[in-house]
Amino acid sequence: MSDPISSAPEGFARTAGGAIVMDGNRRRDEMVSELASNIRAAGSPAVCLATVLVGDDAPSQRYVRNKHLQAAKAGMVSRNEVLPADAGQARVEDVVSALAADPEVHGILVQSPLPPGYDEEAVLRLIPADKDVDGLTSESMGRLVRGLPGLVGCTPLGVMRLLERYGVPTSGRRAVVVGRSMLVGLPLTLLLARKGVDATVTIAHSRTVDLVDVCREADIVVGAVGQAGLITAAHVKPGATVIDVGISRTEAGIVGDVDFDAVQAVAGHITPMPGGTGPMTIACLLENTLTAARLQGAFPL
């Protein structure tokens, strides 16, 4: 079995320790440019993403602004429905229901988390599976499990796109996903194991015994629990690919699940935090929006 670094294209930036940096900002820009080209080639139809933002949480506002900025770069139309924190469950559900029924809206994203007191699951149930660009509804998850066409979570899809664009082999490789959330861990496990990707996947979690030993067997290690510095150099075998999805806010700023400084000296590929999987999540939100338009017959196959 070849070292995962061996099939990577030349010319990518490396860390001081020699690991290839999986630059999410650069790959996002590539994907957005490709989406824009596809839309122009189809005659620039109005592919529309709608977001619903409830409350005035500053990080949520920033995330939503960035999504609309990138949508514009991709040549998409976007709407942002902004509601006060005290709008109430019924008002939020009315807005989502109206977007669900609007044939000019192809993708719907409800910015999470909603303020305290809201039933987020009830809101998500109102989003049709073919407009669920976050891949969070039960029907979307069911389609993923059964291998049916549909929309999958933006973050796990972003991880897959990074692996593809950096030439990291997956077939027959061992992957460990640390974290079993419905948002990242479980869908990513399914994507890595699906036919055509063909990784052998282990899910690790808070009850996993000997996490270091489990991770050191892997060619691909993904940290997705939100525990700062959980993955150290001791967890990583030489040449492995290490993907950091976890986010923690500390006094020093935003950090990930991976101790970057230590792990970069061992890994073959590594994502930075920030600047790794975060930008890819937005790129894949836009990819999902275009896929949604296709599923609805609003964009050529």
Give the pLDDT mean for 196-204: 98
- 195 and 256 share one domain: yes
**Residue among 144, 197, 162 at smallest CA distance from 27:** 162
| Total domains in the fold of the chain | 2
Angle, helices 24-41 vs 277-295, to 10°: value is 20
Rg of the chain on CA atoms, in Å: 19
Structural domain of 94? 43-128
Provide the annotated active-site residues: 67, 111, 134
Among 141, 163, 161, smallest CA distance to 152 is for 141
Boundary-marking domain end, from 128, 150, 185:
128
CATH number for position 105? 3.40.50.10860
Residue 139 lies in a domain: no
User: Between β-strands 248-250 and 253-255, what pairing exists: parallel, antiparallel or unpaired?
Assistant: antiparallel
Residues 16 and 54 in one domain: no
Note the pTM of the prediction, 2 decimals.
Answer: 0.94
Span 134-161, mean pLDDT?
96
Quickly state the pLDDT bin for 193 (edges 50, 70, 90).
very high
pLDDT category of residue 8 using cuts at 50, 70 and 90: very low
Please check whether residues 265 and 207 belong to one and the same domain.
yes
Mean local confidence (pLDDT), 1-21? 67
